[in-house]
Homo-oligomer: A and B are copies of this chain.
Amino acid sequence: MQEISKYASIIYRNGQMYFDEKLAPYHIGCGQQFFLLRIHDNPGLNQYELAAQGMFDKGTTARAVKKLLELGYIRREIDEEDHRISKLYVSSKGEPFVVIIREMIKEWHLCLTSNLDEKEKDLVDQLMKKLADNASETMKKERKRDMYGTSDRKKD
């Protein structure tokens, strides 16, 4: 019996709990860590690009960015050419947390893959990437609606 969805759910939900617990001292929730890292890895990216990195809704992205700004872990610069666009950067206050969070993720992945050999680790990463791509592709087709804002129009 195929139970991929169930396993994805368990992996996801337990990950949320893990990061919620580990991140509590820094007053950031499990929902923000992904965004902080992506901003660090892609300095100057905008919210559209940020959302696309994890297939997130733009509303979700906006809220995560808002929280990270309030906490002072990132800063934003309005694009001079196009005033709608704000470019995001990790602030000096945020830098140390990037390191900490990266370490947490490494630990979590170690826990997840503790009884897998190197080959299996590569394989599961590779196969899950395929599943994730299929998932987003299916939903993109399913609803002609955009993931972010490629066209803010209603569906047909």
Interface of A toward B, CB cutoff 8 Å: 2-15, 17-18, 21, 34, 54-55, 105, 108-109, 111-116, 120-121, 123-125, 127-132, 134-136, 138-139, 142-143
Contact = CB atoms under 8 A, between A and B. Distances in A.
Closest 8 CB pairs of A and B: A14-B135, A7-B128, A10-B132, A7-B132, A12-B12, A8-B11, A124-B127, A111-B138
Given A134-B115, A135-B112, A143-B21, A128 B12 contact: no
A105 to B, nearest CB: 7
A139 B22 CA distance: 12
Nearest to A11: B8
A127 B130 contact: no
B138 A127 contact: no
Contacts of A134: 111-115
This chain: how many copies in the complex?
Answer: 2
Contacts of A132: 6-7, 10-11, 14
Contact of A17 (B121, B127, B129, B139): B139
Nearest to A14: B135
26 contacts: A2-B113, A2-B121, A2-B125, A3-B129, A4-B109, A4-B124, A5-B11, A5-B109, A5-B112, A6-B54, A8-B8, A8-B11, A8-B12, A9-B54, A10-B54, A10-B132, A10-B136, A11-B128, A11-B131, A11-B132, A12-B13, A14-B136, A112-B131, A113-B131, A120-B127, A124-B127
B4 A125 contact: yes
